[in-house]
Structure 1
Amino acid sequence: MSVFAKATASRSARAAWTGIAIAGVSALLLTACSTGGNPEPAESEEAADTGDALEIEAGERDLTLKVGTILPQSGTLAFLGPPEEAGVALAAQEINEADAGINVEVVYRDSGDTTTDIATVSVTDLLSQDVSAIVGAASSGVSLTVIDQITSAGVVHFSPANTSPDFTDYEDNGLYFRTAPSDLLQGEVLGNLIAEDGASTLGLLVLNDPYGTGLAGALKETFESAGGEVVAEELFNTGDSNFDSQLSAINAANPDAVAVITFDESKVVVPALVGSGYPGSQLYFVDGNLKDYSADFAPGLIADAKGTLPGPKLEDDFRERLLEVDPALTDFSYGPESYDALMLIAMAAYAANSVEGTDIGEYLQQVSGGSGDGEKVTSFADAAALLAEGQQVDYDGASGPITLNEKGDPTEATIGIYQYGDDNKYTRIN
């Protein structure tokens, strides 16, 4: 099974996510507009706009770039913190080892979740240290609580994992970017996957925040467009500890499949749902809860369950490099996207020959290949060598080609499909 998703965008319109094909071994290029509807074949990919490329000043650099992070060290997404921080640390290490005239300093802080005010405190601290950019948060809901604070200070806000569609048209002074695709794409992939697996009815257990409701909406639209019916849609709030009413409603509807759109709450709701008699094999997970449950669930509890996660198949070399930074890693979700976020920030600073956040923001789309006509690069050392000669670059990273549009969204992305084994660990199957 092959699932590939790509999107293109003009500088004058919102990006249109490309559809997916979940059949055979070939990848089909389809176009699906963000307002919904069935995908239609696309004849060709629209070329990037090269008319507004900014000039690159040739010459040596002598820059110190201070970057902060607000990644989850605590809260309902804490399992994503280690791979994300490892990705940032690895990028900083490789940028500094390039010895190209720019030195990166990283200040790591916690984002918490939406039940706390940790993110605001962390951002206030980071801004007081004159950071040029802040990487994070992982949670869309958390980022929405601090995006104004960050961007109004003239600092780049770059998330490796925000997937809520709300960010695409958010008024951010041109300073918000992300390496994770909008959930308009993940919802489309997951909805088609569930339909292709033979389900005609679907239950949804949904975190009531911008991430959960945005993903649920995209999933529901796709599944129903494929002829299915959502027979239960149960919401809960971050911090809730009792899910009896939601699980009872889902069991009463007796759907063919259940999509669990949660964060760490899955450790409570999944055993409860399966314990009530619902088959664990008919569950579908998402990026917010696709994780190793071998230490949390009884063996075989979710065997054959599936899930989706943005990002290409993790290369063995990159996995080993992350493990050198943090040997304790067991989950690697959004590690590549975090690595690429800092790489792009540093390349934009190098292109601008400036560590001012607003200057970095002006060059981020360009170094990603979203504007200009740059030469492909996959490392900071190669990018710096070209930029020092005044040449344009187009960075393809560990998470894929990226190619940011004028909204700060990546316009090329892959959604992986995973399946759980008897050990409650997941492996990629596409």
Structure 2
Amino acid sequence: MSGFEKAKASRSRTLKNVLGGVAVIGVSVLFLSACSPTASTGSSETAAPPTDDLTLKIGTALPQTGNLAYLGPPEEAGVQYAISEINAATADTGLTVDLTLGDSGDTDNKAYETEIPRLLGDGVSAIIGAASSGTSLKFIDDVVGAGVIQFSPANTSDAFTTYDDKGLYFRTAPSDVLQGEVLGNLIAEDGNQTLGLIVLNDSYGTGLAKYVTDSFEAAGGEVVAAPTYNTGDTSFDSQIQEVLAADPDAIALITFEEVKTILPGLLASFPSDKLYFVDGNLKNFGDELPAGSLTGAKGTLPGLSIDSLTDFTGALDDFASSEGLPALKDYSYAAESYDATVLLALGALAAGSTDGTDIAGKLQEVSGGSGDGEKCTTYADCAAIIVGGGTADYDGISGPISFDDVGDPQDASIGIYVYGEDNNYTAYEG
């Protein structure tokens, strides 16, 4: 199938099942036992429309600084665009969203240590962020302990599936169990028999590396080197030397923005078409590198193919321009950020409340993960269903979502991309 291949998740599926622009995976197959006694189960009961106007306060803890700062602009733009549409419908719904922007930083600069208390002090009902799993794990206890929802558009660590989050943690990105399986199979299907990894030493990096390794080895390959580094490191000579000394057929870079420092030393001795990127570093490098530096390199990114989201990204560009926001160079997790915001607003409408616990109790329902709601694809349409006394089932820009009992999406797409001569990526048509 040109452009993308649809496949149900299965430990025994063949390599060809994951090739193409997007691998679409039913997550619930992998997580039949992933049910936590502390998770919210949602409700199939329909709340009465609110009798009073609701003001929902949302904060963001997204990376304005740190090793994922390139993800901040598309994620913040996605949140703000969603809020503009939510507030445009206030006259019909009675719900208004107030936004407070904040910086998550990373585990090195620790911006979250001051930003999270500031957001909580502002009385937010939910915090959208962080992008980094490792950073989210640094403040999740503070957020959920305050009865506030933490909703990440980009956390992929499997640690959150069983985390004791009081039923207040949700994400629109799938676990790295899935991305690791897709990437490992892709590398093997490309004919590589040995693999080297350079890995960020945190819950995201080591977790994703494990699942890539498991998948690649299950396909008959061998991981011959996997040196790690820590957030804040600035020199990667030893990791580069170790992985090159193992003479692998391919190298997967499981990093964040440190990849910009790693690539020059690596590309001097290793072919670009044998490099593989992940969501933490898949970006449009453009003229940051000499022309043709990354030609043929591939990578994976959770979410529907960017090529299939041109209507959304075009509208997002127009919105950013009209609001004086920075022009977007990447769109990673913009759709997931938009959907997270819409779901929070729909959860508040369905609950008739802006209390974090009340909203959390409705998020599974409005996502279609429980109950028997009416399908809808925009905030306005879903809100009309709820205000009319019905149950809404939101299918978002990033996909159908459908939260399970622990706040993980039950359906997910993993995009596969390839770099061209301009050092930018497009959907892989293999």
CA deviations 1:171-214 (Å, max 9, x no partner) are: 00000000000000000000111011110100000000000001
| One-letter identity of the residue aligned with 2:188 | A
Instruction: Rate the CA distance shift 1:255–1:25 in 2: closer, same or farther, 3 A.
Output: closer
Which structure 2 residues correspond to residues 29-40 of structure 1 after superposition, within 5 A?
34=30
Say whether the 8 Å CA contact 1:19–1:185 is kept in structure 2: no
Corresponding position of 1:22: 18
Query: Runs of 5+ in structure 2 lacking a partner?
Result: 32-40, 322-326
Structure 1 stretches of at least 4 aligned residues deviating more than 6 Å after TM superposition: 16-20, 24-33
Say whether the 8 Å CA contact 2:368–2:394 is kept in structure 1: yes
Q: Whole-Å Cα distance in 2 between the matches of residues 121 and 114 of structure 1? A: 13
Matched, 1:360 2:356: no
Corresponding position of 2:409: 410
Matched, 1:65 2:64: no
Q: Whole-Å Cα distance in 1 between the matches of residues 50 and 236 of structure 2? A: 60
| One-letter identity of the residue aligned with 2:81 | L
Corresponding position of 1:400: 399
Please, what is the CA RMSD of the aligned residues?
2.3
Instruction: Rate the CA distance shift 1:334–1:399 in 2: closer, same or farther, 3 A.
Output: same
Matched, 1:377 2:376: yes
Corresponding position of 1:166: 159
> Which has a greater percent of helix?
2
The alpha carbon displacement at 1:268 in A equals: 0.7
Instruction: Rate the CA distance shift 1:90–1:6 in 2: closer, same or farther, 3 A.
Output: farther
Instruction: Rate the CA distance shift 1:111–1:189 in 2: closer, same or farther, 3 A.
Output: same
Corresponding position of 1:344: 343
Matched, 1:216 2:213: no
Query: Higher relative contact order by CA 8 Å / sep ≥ 6: 1 or 2?
Result: 2
Matched, 1:317 2:311: yes
Q: Given the two structures, how large is their TM-score scaled by the length of structure 1? A: 0.90
Matched, 1:280 2:266: no
Q: Given the two structures, how large is their TM-score scaled by the length of structure 2? A: 0.90
Which structure 2 residues correspond to residues 1-16 of structure 1 after superposition, within 5 A?
2-4=4-6
Q: Whole-Å Cα distance in 1 between the matches of residues 296 and 249 of structure 2? A: 14
The alpha carbon displacement at 1:355 in A equals: 0.2
Say whether the 8 Å CA contact 2:42–2:363 is kept in structure 1: no
Matched residue SS, 1:269:
helix
Corresponding position of 2:320: 326
Instruction: Rate the CA distance shift 1:178–1:78 in 2: closer, same or farther, 3 A.
Output: same
Corresponding position of 2:246: 253
Q: Which range moved further: 212-221 or 319-328?
A: 319-328
| One-letter identity of the residue aligned with 1:372 | G
Matched residue SS, 1:157:
strand
Q: Whole-Å Cα distance in 1 between the matches of residues 77 and 182 of structure 2? A: 28
| One-letter identity of the residue aligned with 1:191 | G
Which structure 2 residues correspond to residues 162-241 of structure 1 after superposition, within 5 A?
162-241=155-234
| One-letter identity of the residue aligned with 1:22 | V
CA deviations 1:83-131 (Å, max 9, x no partner) are: 0000000100000111221001110011101102211211100110100
Matched residue SS, 1:248:
helix
Q: Whole-Å Cα distance in 1 between the matches of residues 292 and 284 of structure 2? A: 13
Say whether the 8 Å CA contact 1:203–1:231 is kept in structure 2: yes
| One-letter identity of the residue aligned with 1:76 | N
Instruction: Rate the CA distance shift 1:30–1:115 in 2: closer, same or farther, 3 A.
Output: closer
The alpha carbon displacement at 1:27 in A equals: 7.4
Corresponding position of 1:290: 282
CA deviations 1:331-374 (Å, max 9, x no partner) are: 00000000000100000000000000010010001100000000
Say whether the 8 Å CA contact 1:200–1:228 is kept in structure 2: yes
Q: Whole-Å Cα distance in 2 between the matches of residues 300 and 195 of structure 1? A: 24
| One-letter identity of the residue aligned with 1:213 | T
Say whether the 8 Å CA contact 2:24–2:411 is kept in structure 1: no
Matched, 1:138 2:131: yes
Corresponding position of 1:108: 101
Count of aligned positions: 408
Q: Whole-Å Cα distance in 2 between the matches of residues 417 and 235 of structure 1? A: 24
Query: Runs of 5+ in structure 1 lacking a partner?
Result: 9-15, 36-49
Q: Whole-Å Cα distance in 1 between the matches of residues 135 and 371 of structure 2? A: 33
Over the matched positions of the two proteins, sequence identity in percent amounts to: 54
Instruction: Rate the CA distance shift 1:32–1:366 in 2: closer, same or farther, 3 A.
Output: closer
Say whether the 8 Å CA contact 2:23–2:413 is kept in structure 1: no
Q: Whole-Å Cα distance in 2 between the matches of residues 26 and 202 of structure 1? A: 23
Instruction: Rate the CA distance shift 1:319–1:24 in 2: closer, same or farther, 3 A.
Output: closer
